[in-house]
Structures are given as structure tokens and as C-alpha cells.
Amino acid sequence: MRAAFSILAILLFSSLVCAQSGQRPAPSPTPDQDQEPVRVFTEEVRLPIAATDTYGHYDPSLTADDVLVLEDGQQQQIKSIQHLPANVLLLLDVGNQLGLKDTNMTRDVAMRVINSLFAGTQVAVMQFAMKPEVLQPWTTDKSGIELLLKRKLLSGKTSRLADALAAASDQFKNTPQGTRHIVIISDGVDTPGGKVTMANALKQLNSIQASVHVLSYTALERQVLQAKTKVLSGGDGVQRDGAPGGNPVANGDPTLPPGSTRTPSFKIGAIDTDVAMRRKRKEYERATRESEKQLTALAEESGGRIFLPVDSGELLAQADTVARDIGSQYVLTYRPTRPLSQAAPGEYRKVVVASRRVGLYLRTRKGYVVPTNY
């Protein structure tokens, strides 16, 4: 007992001496502060998938078992499928170089799309001519948009589509992937001289992974252009003297043989004698054909569609179809078997989806560029 008391006294004395001398116990080991922090990636691909039945109507019963997803040919394990509220930006072309686009019609088509969207859809509206301009920032309230478009939608003389696509891409920074949609109402003819090249604009558009839906004026405009320059001809083209008996003098030209005339037998229904304008119209017609190819490729790559109405009635009807397409989209997520962190800079990965159920039709984008943050 006396020995235990002596040991305790010695320990207490030692602690007191250490405290008075300023010595402190050795700290517990800590990780090396120079060690590189562990980077954690949330690797998830979000795909917009339009799911429709045989009649093109939204299929409300889609499950993961109904879908096969391939990325660069490898099957992927689906994590989830959800029907989420969409974010839809309407991009309205109000440039009118040759007086071919009707701004009032563009407004009506835009409102037809907006009013046909599901409740809860977030909508924004941008117009472009010489430059892009946001008319309506993101909102779920449709009530005031029609009045706003009547007041602020104004036509111009040029159409800088590349600048507009780049500006539209910037509007989606705070919206989740898989719910992004752009509805373009335009003929796609891009006036030179903008701030952004079309190649760079398309690269920006691809990076946000939005579904692009196009209501194109191209087919309608070509009909108008062809009607303006059409020459209606008739008769057999044989030259005849209009005077009885074939008297050349009666026709006012005694140098011609009997039975002939300088006036051929044809009639002109409409002819444009302005050669410069005729050439300009031909050039614009060619431009619409080229832009139509570009818009088609853009829509199909993104998982959207292009519509080529030939009259105003068809244009309005197809606005309903665009809204229905947007409403039929789900957001599918999967963790890629080949990690995104291993992707090369700007790497493109091809995506294919297929239906596992009879009567179910699926559509998505053709691929995606791996984001730079990986």
C-alpha cells in the first residue's frame, strides 16, 4: 500500500514539472498536410428520352426494364427514369430580308407551343434579328407572355442565327441536364457578320445537351419564292401573223414573209423583270435548302425533330406536336461503365437507346461530349 502511494506521488510530481517547464504531450499523428486531396466524382449521364405509343402519344408507364441503353456499343446499367418538369426556351427569328417571314405568325406559333406545354414547365423567350434579345426570362407563369410578345416582338432586316444559338445556350446554366429544350422558329438562314461563327455556336449548343425542336419556314418560303418568279406559258410557240389572209403589212412589218409575225403565241401570267431581285431570290432559295440540312442535322443529333410545314395552317398544327414531343420526354440516368474521369478532352460518346416493349417508341440524342469538369 505504501509502495503504491509512492508511485502515484512520483507520477503527479513528474506531470507538475512538465507543466512548469512548458513541455506538452506529443500530438497525435495527423495526415500529411501536403498530401493531394482525394477527388470524388459524381459520374452520371442524364439523357432525355421521348417515349411514345403507336399513335405518337406520351407513354406514362415507362420503366427501366423497358429501355436498353448502349454507350459506344456497351450496355449500360440504368439507375433511374423520371418524368420531370421541362425547361423550354423559344428562339424566334424576326429577321425578314425578303419579306418572307410573318412576325405575327411567328408570335402565334410561339404562343401555340407555350399554351400546349404541361403545367409546371419553365419557359423563356428570345427573339433575334441583328442580335439576340431575351424577351421573357424563365417563368412558369404563361399568363402575361402573349401580351409581352405583342408589345416587344419586332421584325428586323437580318437574322444572325449563330449569335442567337450561342446566347440561347447561356440561358441554361442553372437548369438541370435532361430537361433542356430549345424550340427554334426560323428558316435557319444565317446573315454573315455576327460575333460567333456557326461552328462555335453549335459546339456551345452541344455542350449544354439540350433537345432542339425546329419549326422551319424553309419549305413555306420556297413556295412563295417560286410563285414570285414563275412564268406561266401556254400555246404551241409557233409564230403566226394575226392579220386575216396572212398580210405582213397588216402586222406592221413588211420585211417578214407572209404568214409570220414577230410575236410568238404564248401568254405570260406573271414575270419579274427585276433581274437583280430575281437573282437575290434564287440565292435565298438555295440558302434555305442548305440551312434546312443544317437544322435537320441539329435536331436529329439532339434527339429532337424538324418540321417543314408548307402553309400557315400546318405550321400552327405542328406547334402542338412540338409541345407534345417535349411533354413525352423522360430523364434517364446511368453511371457509364467507362468512367467520365478517363475521357480525353472533348471526347464524344455515341449513345443508342432501344425499346424492349412492343408498341413503345423511344428517341434520344445521338451522343454527348464529356463535360470539361471531368
Digit-coded pLDDT (tens) for 73-83: 999 999 999 99
What mean pLDDT comes out for the span 107-123?
96
How far from 327 is each of 84, 86, 252, 296, 305, CA to CA, in Å?
9, 8, 73, 21, 14
Contacts of 181 (CB under 8 A, 6+ apart): 48, 86, 87, 88, 89, 210, 211, 212, 213, 304, 326, 329
Is the C-alpha dihedral spanning 188, 189, 195, 198 positive or negative? Answer: positive
Structural domain range at position 203: 45-220+289-369
Q: How confident is the model at residue 367 (pLDDT cuts 50, 70, 90)?
A: very high
Whether 341 maps to a domain, the answer reads yes
Predicted pLDDT at 10: 42
Identify whether the C-beta of residue 179 lies closer than 8 Å to the C-beta of residue 326.
no
| Total count of domains within the chain | 1
d(CA 179, CA 49): 10
More confident residue, 351 or 246: 351
Is residue 19 in a domain?
no
Confidence of residue 23 (pLDDT cuts 50, 70, 90): very low
Residue 5 is assigned to a structural domain of this protein: no
Q: What does the pLDDT read at residue 256?
A: 53
Task: Give the pLDDT of residue 293.
Answer: 97
Question: Does residue 108 carry a pLDDT above 50?
Answer: yes
| H helices, E strands: number in the chain | 8, 14
Residue 71 falls inside a structural domain: yes
Q: Where are the alpha helices (DSSP H) in 94-157?
A: 103-116, 145-152
Q: How far apart are CA 80 and CA 64, in angstroms?
A: 7
% the chain with pLDDT above 70: 76
| Interior angle at CA 89, CA 86 and CA 90, nearest 5 | 130
Give the 3-state secondary structure percentages of the chain, helix then strand then coil, rounded to 5. Answer: 35, 20, 45
- 165-215 per-position pLDDT tens digit: 999 999 998 999 899 999 999 999 999 899 999 999 999 998 899 999 999
Contact status, residue 138 vs residue 124, Cβ threshold 8 Å: yes
Burial of 358 (0-12, 13-18, 19+ CB in 10 A): exposed
| Domain assignment of residue 59, yes or no | yes
Looking at the chain, the whole-number percentage of residues with pLDDT higher than 90 is 65
Burial class from Cβ neighbours inside 10 Å (0-12, 13-18, 19+) for residue 362 reads: buried
Classify residue 308: in a domain, yes or no. yes
| pLDDT attached to residue 56 | 86
Q: Is the pLDDT of residue 240 over 80?
A: no
The answer to whether 197 and 102 are in contact (CB under 8 A) is no
Confidence at residue 274, expressed as pLDDT on a 0 to 100 scale: 76
Angle separating helix axes 145-152 and 103-116, nearest 10 degrees:
170
Least confident interval from 50-54, 257-261, 354-358: 257-261
Would you say residue 40 lies in a domain? no
Kindly report the average pLDDT of the chain as a whole number. Answer: 83
Nearest to 115 by CA among 298, 319, 295: 319
- pLDDT at 26 > cutoff 60: no
User: Does the pLDDT of residue 264 top 80, yes or no?
Assistant: no
Mention every residue, 6+ apart, whose C-beta is less than 8 A from residue 41. 339, 340, 341, 374
Q: How would you classify residue 346: left for phi > 0, otherwise alpha for psi between -120 and 50, otherwise beta?
A: left
CATH number of residue 351's parent domain = 3.40.50.410
The tally of CA atoms less than 13 A away on the side-chain side of residue 330 is 22
* Cα angle, residue 371 at apex, residues 369 and 374 outer, rounded to 5°: 125
pLDDT, greater one: 22 or 73 = 73
Residue 195 lies in a domain: yes
pLDDT band at residue 290 under the 50/70/90 scheme: very high
Segment 100-116 shows an average pLDDT of 95
